[in-house]
Amino acid sequence: MYNFLYINTHDTGKAIQPYGYSVPTASLQQLAEEGTLFTHAYCCGPTCSPSRAAMLTGTYPHQNGMLGLAQRGFSLNNPEQHLASYLKSQGYQTALSGIQHEAGWYLDLDEEAIQELGYQFVLTTSSDVHEKEELHNWDYENALAALAWLDELDESKPFMLSYGMHSTHRPYPLEVADNINPNYVKPGFPGESNAKNRFDYAQFMTSAQYADRNVELLINKLKEKGLYEKTVILYTTDHGLALPFHKSSLKDTGIGVGLILWHPEFGHGKVIDELVSHIDVFPTICDILNLEKPDYLEGQSFIDVLEEKSSETREFIYAEVNFHTSYEPIRCVRSKRYKYIRHFDETWQYNNISNMDESEPKNFLLDHELKVKQKDMEALYDCYYDPDEMNNLINDKEYKELTESFRELLLAHMKKTDDPLLKGELEVLPRYKVNKKECLEASSKNPDDYDPRGKSV
């Protein structure tokens, strides 16, 4: 029976070396060359807790209760559906080192809440001694804690080890690494190249490099202990970069994620260009580990593609937003070629600016009409000809029939998964902390910037 190592970074999208970016992540590049790289992998919700909750329960955010961020009052309806809990029930030793974002605030070390997810061993060190700009050092300490646990491992039973990093979440390290020159980097989309935006992206690259070094430590330890050939390794992230129109967006910059899988018996340099969703990870892991799949899983295993028994995965993927900081209900359907997006809150047709993390790129756009820009409430994109999803075809008569077919697909998915949006606006419960739609800053200290039905500052 194989062990399972789950490695995750924060807010990274696909901006790592194996996807062609000039981001120094040599260890992830090596993992891709030794394993399997998925070029068209997507999360189920481009905000932190909903994305992770969907992948680790195999159910969509609107089904599992994680409609928004865990530190803002949202929670899993049933923590026992978590992958760690399931693997524990199957005889696995389960350990967490670093962050999780499915129960409370990931910087808080709430061992009871973490154990409710199914983790028997909580290896995470305290983050209190680190400034937020230095949390890459906390990631390193948690990597060392994971290495120490592996050194003392009871090898008579298989293990699941989850290693989660703060990197590449904001705030980034203040100092840019010596091998990265901010003068010669290309800022992420929308990508106006100016000194502040270039330096900001160089800081992201630095954060990614720190994360990559921790990946190297864990993989080298597995090899040193003779466990590499006995362990399945999954690397992924939650969603796109913490930039405007990435994180919290259902465009590919928001839902596109890096996904690399190492299996001792297959892959080994394989690249899969078919669609896969985070919702498919849980059932695939069950198949890889030869475990029966729980009946609540919504995804479909891609084991046959990994074993080259089939060249096809799924025809469509689905993703959603409900709450990030403010209420912004959105749904999408994506095929290999087309993307359909629908915003459901007709009362607010501007961008929900507090759903964009504070950054220099955001400041630049705020200085250039971001507050008055309106969003397309319904959109259809041809991703072959328009990969940046800028040319909305929703009103093009040539695409009328295609648009209607995607509307029907979305409606069928919402009905099948009992999406509460079908009944109207989602309720703001008293325990939720929700910014008003017109709020500009996620962490505003002004009580007037928050929905009075929930918590405030």
Report pLDDT digits (tens) over 311-336. 888 999 999 999 999 999 999 999 99
Per cent of the chain over pLDDT 70 is 100
Q: How far apart are CA 305 and CA 302, in angstroms?
A: 5
Of the candidates 32, 12, 18, 438, the one whose C-alpha atom is nearest the C-alpha of residue 219 is: 32
- C-alpha dihedral over 20, 21, 27, 32, to 10 degrees? -30
pLDDT in tens, 30-65: 999 999 999 999 999 999 999 999 999 999 999 999
Q: Which two tokens stand for residue 429?
A: 């419960």
Nearest to residue 236, comparing CAs of 5, 7, 3, 2? 7
* Measured CA distances, 9 to 165, 168, 213, 238, 415 (Å): 5, 6, 12, 7, 33
DSSP category for residue 155: T
For the stretch 52-57, contacts whose Cβ atoms lie closer than 8 Å and that sit 24 or more positions apart, written own/partner, are 52/8, 52/100, 52/101, 52/102, 52/238, 53/102, 54/278, 54/279, 55/236, 55/278, 55/279, 55/281, 55/282, 56/82, 56/83, 56/84, 56/102, 56/282, 57/81, 57/82, 57/83, 57/282, 57/296
Question: Is pLDDT above 90 for 309?
Answer: no
Instruction: Measure the CA–CA gap between 281 and 13, rounded to whole angstroms.
Output: 17
Query: pLDDT tens for residues 89-147?
Result: 999 999 999 999 999 999 998 999 999 999 999 999 999 999 999 999 999 999 999 99
DSSP E strands, 112-263: 121-122, 159-164, 231-237, 256-262
Q: Is the confidence at residue 224, as pLDDT, over 90?
A: yes
Whether the per-residue pLDDT at 191 is higher than 90: the answer is no
- Identical fold, 3-306 and 317-449: no
- Residue 309 burial (CB < 10 Å; 0-12/13-18/19+)? exposed
Strand, helix or coil at 398? helix
Q: Domain coordinates of the chain in residue numbers?
A: 3-306, 317-449
Q: How confident is the model at residue 310 (pLDDT cuts 50, 70, 90)?
A: confident
**Architecture of the domain delimited by 3-306:** 3-Layer(aba) Sandwich (3.40)
Q: What's the pLDDT score for residue 156?
A: 95
Query: According to the model, what pLDDT value does residue 6 have?
Result: 98
pLDDT for 190 beyond 90: no
| CA atoms of 85 and 80, how far apart (whole Å) | 6
This prediction has a pTM of 0.97
Mapped onto helix, strand or coil, the DSSP state of residue 405 is helix
Q: From residue 185, how far is each of 12, 36, 47, 81, 181 by CA, in Å?
A: 16, 28, 26, 42, 7
pLDDT at 318: 98
Mean pLDDT of the chain: 97
Q: What number does CATH give the domain 317-449? A: 3.30.1120.10
